Structure 1
Amino acid sequence: MWRSKSLLIAKKLLRSRTFWLLFAVGLVVLYRFINEYQRVQNEPMISWTKSQSADCAVVLTGGAGRVREGFDLLVNQNVKKLVISGVYANARLREIMPPWPYYGNLNENDVVLDRRSETTYGNAQQSLPIVEALKCRDILLVTSRIHMYRSYRTFRASFPENIYIQKHPVVGVRYEPSVLEISFEALKSLFYSLWAY
């Protein structure tokens, strides 16, 4: 009896247009997710194999090693100005970078803090007027390797074409992120692809 009811329900479902529409949407979402997953996973570590320089670096906060990498770029004169995007509203420069005294004679005027951004999209929107005010013709985008694909696409969609953006990924906790980390980032990228780029 239970089996016959199950077969009857299955037959009704297979005849339903709604079922097939949801099935097709599910396949499209699955295809897009797999595509985003592969792109996030295969982001190359360009910064390890190529010396990069630009007018400015834009560092996206939120992960280990990003801010330090930005300061290293500034100290080594790979960039002239450093924008740190997404810091807390009351944060001070010396709190963000406690080893500041060990970096020699850095000028605090070469570092700009964006205190308004809270998302990757916000980073791009809030960094653009700063980058334009600093007259940067090109930037190094500094974020984690796993976050780079979504960040680059968001910045490229927000910034004008005349500002050249170079990827400068850093390794956060480990070189190879876990499947769960990549999956979570791929979901974010899938969501961003619907409205941000």
Structure 2
Amino acid sequence: MKTLSKIIVLLLALGIGALVFGFVLFSVTVTRDDVGGWDKADGIVVLTGGDLRVEAGAKLMNEGRAKRLLISGVNRKVRREEMQRLLGLDAKTFNCCVDLGYEALDTVGNADETRTWARNNGYTKLIIVTSRYHMPRSLAELALVMPKVTLIPYPVTPRHFPETAWWLHSSTTRVLVSEYLKFLPAVARLAAQRVLNWRGDRSVATVGSTSANG
């Protein structure tokens, strides 16, 4: 009985240690300011919910990085005229190439809204704009519903995020902990989906090989 208790305590300690290590790795990754070039794509998708995201999407459009822009999760009270002023795009570009999505209420909704938009436009390569801390979960949710679409992350650093030593700021730490706990089930579902798809592909290949041999 004592041996079993020790094993349980050891497993709990290892589990907690893995969670803590994962959180530190997650936090360091999402607070690091990577600088690099950005590829062009078919479309740009801005996930609302944080400052500077919409402005970043408008900047990419002005640079000609994609054909169209989707702003997913727009508040139903926001009119197109207000959004145009916020984006700072000229009327011609806004009217021809900007779509507003009003259905999404969370990140899962953003993914569904983006999938429908990409499918309707025949897009297979998208630039995703959201806050740095929100990017890992967003990419996981998007990849779940669009496994064959190439996703290019364009992370935005919120104004209130510290440039260094995030652990000294309680508000930032709370945001990171909350986002990390939401990210874990999303990435778990993505991993499970990929394992099932891999096994399915192997099964199909095996059946095809057997049929050919027979």
TM class by shorter chain equals: 0.7 to 0.9
Ranges in structure 1 where 5+ consecutive residues have no aligned partner: 1-13
Q: Tell me the distance in 2 between the aligned counterparts of 1:87 and 1:33.
A: 34
CA 1:18–1:191: 2 relative to 1, 3 Å? farther
Contact kept? 1:81, 1:111, Cα under 8 Å: yes
Ranges in structure 2 where 5+ consecutive residues have no aligned partner: 168-172, 192-214
The one-letter amino acid paired with 1:60 is L
Count of aligned residue pairs for this structure pair: 181
TM-score between the two structures when normalised by the length of structure 1: 0.77
The one-letter amino acid paired with 1:110 is C
Q: Tell me the distance in 1 between the aligned counterparts of 2:176 and 2:150.
A: 27
Note if 1:42 corresponds to 2:29. Answer: yes
Superposed counterparts of 1:53-92, under 5 Å:
53-92=40-79
The one-letter amino acid paired with 1:185 is E
Which range moves more in the overlay, 31-40 or 125-134? 31-40
Superposed counterparts of 1:10-29, under 5 Å:
15=2, 17=4, 20-21=7-8, 24-25=11-12, 27-29=14-16
Partner of 1:188: 182
Report which of the two has the higher share of helix: 2
Which one has more relative contact order, counting CA pairs under 8 Å at least 6 apart?
1
Superposed counterparts of 1:110-121, under 5 Å:
110-121=97-108
Q: CA RMSD in A?
A: 2.7
Which range moves more in the overlay, 29-38 or 54-63? 29-38
Q: Tell me the distance in 2 between the aligned counterparts of 1:45 and 1:134.
A: 32
CA deviation string 1:57-90 (max 9, x = no partner): 1111011100111112112211111111111233
The one-letter amino acid paired with 1:93 is R
CA 1:185–1:30: 2 relative to 1, 3 Å? farther
Identity level (%): 24
Note if 1:108 corresponds to 2:108. Answer: no
